[in-house]
Amino acid sequence: MDVIENLSQAFHGFMYVCNRYYRIEFMNKHLIERIGHDATGELCYKALQGLDKICPWCPGEKVFRGEIVGLEIKSPKDNRRYYIINAPYYYHFDTVSMISMFIDITEKKLLKESLKDEL
């Protein structure tokens, strides 16, 4: 995960990698701080969203087939809005995981809505 660790230091958003079984393999320090602990080895949907099953918006199956998927969600855990890029991450030659990088866009969305209301 050396490349991922290096990238995660330059990225000021949240980042994690999970395997096909949705187990977290890596989290950056910003995400660890956000949730309050290092959830490596835990199920991503449980650790990050407090859900008992895969997130309804999760593009995992597409990503594991090689697609890059961007989406915007409102988190049920904290009611904040996030923009997420999910991409396949290949390592160990025959293993594919999903890397998710996301930023909080809540304030941006609120500002956009308030400007729209003023017009």
Q: What is the pTM of this model?
A: 0.85
Could you state, in order of their start, the residue ranges of all structural domains in the chain?
A: 2-118
Mean pLDDT of 25-44: 95
Q: In terms of CATH architecture, what is 2-118? A: 2-Layer Sandwich (3.30)
For the stretch 36-93, pLDDT in tens is 999 999 999 999 999 999 999 999 999 999 999 999 999 888 899 999 999 999 876 7
pLDDT of residue 87: 96
pLDDT higher than 70, residue 119: no
Q: How far apart are CA 61 and CA 39, in angstroms?
A: 22
Whether 16 contacts 27, CB under 8 Å = yes
The whole-angstrom separation of Cα 77 and Cα 99 is 20
Distance between CA atoms of residues 11 and 93, nearest Å: 25
The whole-number pLDDT of residue 67 equals 97
pLDDT, tens digit (0-9, with 9 covering 90-100), for 4-14: 777 777 788 99
pLDDT of residue 42: 98
pLDDT band at 104; cut points 50, 70, 90: very high
